Amino acid sequence: MKTKVKKAILFFGIILVSVMFSGCKNNDPSVLKIFVRSSSNELVNGAQVVIVGDINSNPATLAFVDTLATNASGFVEFNMDTYFTMAGEGNTTGYFDVIVKNGLKTGTEYVRCRSHITTVQTVYLMN
């Protein structure tokens, strides 16, 4: 009788530990949010924002390019989950050049993006 009780306790203990470990995975999205501002600090609607993976960074970032236009609130949100899925679980950081263009004005920045984190950067357009 005691062995059945010990086996039942062991079985439930294993289930409890496996549920605890499976619940520890980070499922937060990886987002790169870029605000675009004019030289007078106003948010810019309709600016083209391009991110380019810096393959010469350390650690190396995979070749990656994506383009979006800013919304009425002056920002874009890049879903970086696709990049981090391609990069693999061991690669949790990516470095990107950000290039913004609106008419004849341009702006650039360099940003580090982390897996399961929302990274926010502001780019100013120069006259």
Question: Mean pLDDT across the chain, nearest whole number?
Answer: 87
Say which residue, 3 or 86, is predicted with more confidence: 86
Class of domain 29-124: mainly beta
Cα dihedral 26, 32, 33, 35, rounded to 10, equals 160
Per-domain boundaries in the chain: 29-124
- pLDDT average, residue stretch 24-28: 70
Say if pTM beats, i.e. exceeds, 0.85.
no
